[in-house]
A and B are shown apart, each in its own frame.
Chain A
Amino acid sequence: MSEIVLQAKNIEKSFHDPITIKVLNEINFSVNKGEFVSVIGKSGCGKSTLLYILSTMDTDYEGELLIDQISMKNKKEAELAKVRNEKIGFVFQFHYLLNEFSVLKNVMLPGLKLGKYSPKEVEFRAMEKLKILGIENEALKMPNQLSGGQKQRVAIARALINDPVIIMGDEPTGNLDKKNSQIVFDVFKELAIEEKQTLLIVTHDGEFAHKSDRIIEMEDGKIIRQ
């Protein structure tokens, strides 16, 4: 049996503002190492909410979350930050790069924060990641000098810098045109096949989902098919 890197056990979540609504209900699933999983479902069914819980940014939920076989329950804010830094790469719908830093420095930041490698090595690794994504020539530009597709690829490179156990994406192609979406998808596919990178990607693009290894379909806060 292959190794489980992410496991959700009975995860439930309610919002209480203005009235209590349950947006996630009995979420149970796991992701194995090297799997390319996509999550689909109608808008408002709770995909993003789930992903923020899985990425440890949202801690206000019931149930249990295990990342790399370790429970995230009762972990302090600083410890969760460390988990995010070390084990999770996150790609948002919008690129969310830091405009104060060059493309290269943006990719390097989580690596420098981890401190596993020297700054020189982190720089070298960042260049490698940019090369994988085919944007090594943009390394010294500032983020606002890049196109939307390029920015998203930089964000993916940043997600890869610490060799995370899992990469999560919240509609990473949602804001891109067909051509750029295809490029980003190809990048994910390549990562899955060649690097054995585990991926959990939320999307509403059916075509995208169908090309992945496994689809988890959600409806009204529940998993209806996986």
Chain B
Amino acid sequence: MNTKLIFSIAKALMLARWKQTLVAAVGVVFSITMFVTLLGFMNGLNDLLDSLILNRTPHIRLYNEIKPTKIQPIDKDPNYKSSHNFVESIKPNGGRLEIYNNASIMSTLKKDKRILGISPKIAAQVFYNVGAIDMTGTISGIDVEAENRLFKFSEYVVGGNYIDLKNVPNSIILGKVAAEKMLAEIGDVIQVTSAKGERMQLKVVGYFQSGLQDIDKVQSYASISTAQKILGKTNNYITDIQIKLNDINQAPEMAREFGSIFEVDAIDIQTANSQFETGSDIRTLISYAVGITLLIVAGFGIYNILNMMIFEKMDSIAILKATGFSGKEVQKVFILIALSIGIVGGLFGLIFGFVFSFIIDNLPFNTAAIPTVKTFPVNYDLKFYLIGTLFSIITTYLAGYFPAKKASKIDPVIIIRGK
């Protein structure tokens, strides 16, 4: 249809009221800017906080928990199949943390297409011997390369070189806080005692800092073979298999699957860190709520201005109708005005939003807790920009729709007679 003509009429009406049009557009610019900046910043924070834990957490962890057997001997006796038994104070027996058959489990897992990678681990409870005092601690025996590839191990090693853990025999990367307490420098040799009482000398090759004080006080890392030595175990002893998936959302389902196939305990990341997800969700929700509220306010601005314009341009609308423009076409003119304000305002909003995000992204943000972060985190996900565009178009369309409908219903006879 006569699109060009509709455009030129819309343009003329906007230019005739350019100040109000500008104010309406600025409202949209402001809200889209805020929307994009806020979402980018909030999600940047989310990503940062997520990465604090989620990056280092396996999507699925296979392990053996010390617990009483579910099926007690009495349950197996066919004579008491239909009876109820009361056995109290059941204790776990012969607690074995080791994962049996871990070699074959790992080779099976390595063939699984859904899995990004696996990294075996040994958790060893130890005492750090500092003079006469013993401090409790945990040494994780890790496959250094796999751990780095899957869980960015090197990012958390703040002193020394992480790969020395593999290359230097009997070496340890100490938790930062633990190292400070022990006054242990890189190159020093410290002594640890295993839970079973065996002592061992270990060379400090680096410090580990997670950003979580409580962890850095106890957690240290050694290679798998060193950990096996500390515990006095053979070289097929493994307590955990950490699995990283291609798709994190499959974790709960696959954890259940592996748990039953390999007859081990399997926990997925969602279950292990459910409180974390809640926090992220709420932050995202808040930013959407604020952004949408701003847009609705801007929408009311557009609504008001269009209403005013229609009131003022009643004569013009009557004339357009008298000379052959239909109600539909008049409606199109005003919707077009609203959409132009929305699209132009939205576009500038996206640009300013990006600029503000960029500024925030470059503001220094130094925190001892997160050594790898130097500036405020910002997420530039295209999704926010698309949602911002979509929302600005939808709100301005709605804001324009009702006044436009009103304009289309104007009866030219009443206006022309009124003079």
Contacts and interface: CB of A to CB of B under 8 A. Distances in A.
Interface of A: 48, 52, 55, 57-58, 77-78, 81-82, 84-86, 90, 92-94, 96-101, 109-110, 112-115, 158
Contacts of A77: 326-327
B323 A113 contact: yes
Nearest to B323: A110
B305 to A, nearest CB: 16
B316 A112 contact: no
Residue among B320, B328, B416, B417 with max Cβ neighbours from chain A (10 Å): B416
B5 interface: yes
A158 B323 CA distance: 9
B419 interface: yes
Given A98-B316, A113-B5, A57 B413 contact: yes
Interface in B1-22: 2, 5, 9, 12-13, 15-16
Given A94-B419, A96-B319, A81 B325 contact: yes
A114 B416 contact: no
A86 to B, nearest CB: 7
Nearest to A175: B419
Interface in B221-270: none
A113 B325 contact: yes
Given A100-B13, A112-B2, A115-B2, A90 B323 contact: yes
Interface residues of B, number: 26
Interface string B375-419: 000000000000000000000000000000000000011001101
B5 A112 contact: yes
A96 B325 contact: no
Contacts of A57: 321-322, 412-413, 416
Residue among A90, A113, A115 with max Cβ neighbours from chain B (10 Å): A113
Nearest to B408: A77
B94 interface: no
Interface string B323-361: 111111100000000000000000000000000000000
Q: Give 10 nearest A-B pairs by CB, closest first.
A: A85-B324, A81-B326, A78-B326, A100-B12, A110-B323, A100-B16, A84-B324, A112-B5, A96-B319, A52-B413
A82 B326 CA distance: 8
A44 to B, nearest CB: 12
A114 B412 contact: no
Nearest to A95: B319
Contacts of A93: 419
B112 interface: no
Given A96-B315, A100-B13, A100-B15, A81 B419 contact: no
Contacts of A98: 12, 316, 319-320
A48 B327 CA distance: 23
Nearest to A119: B4
A57 B319 CA distance: 11
Residue among B324, B413, B419 with max Cβ neighbours from chain A (10 Å): B324
22 contacts: A52-B417, A57-B321, A57-B322, A57-B412, A57-B413, A81-B321, A81-B324, A81-B325, A81-B329, A82-B324, A85-B323, A86-B324, A92-B322, A92-B416, A94-B419, A96-B318, A96-B319, A96-B322, A97-B319, A99-B16, A101-B12, A109-B5
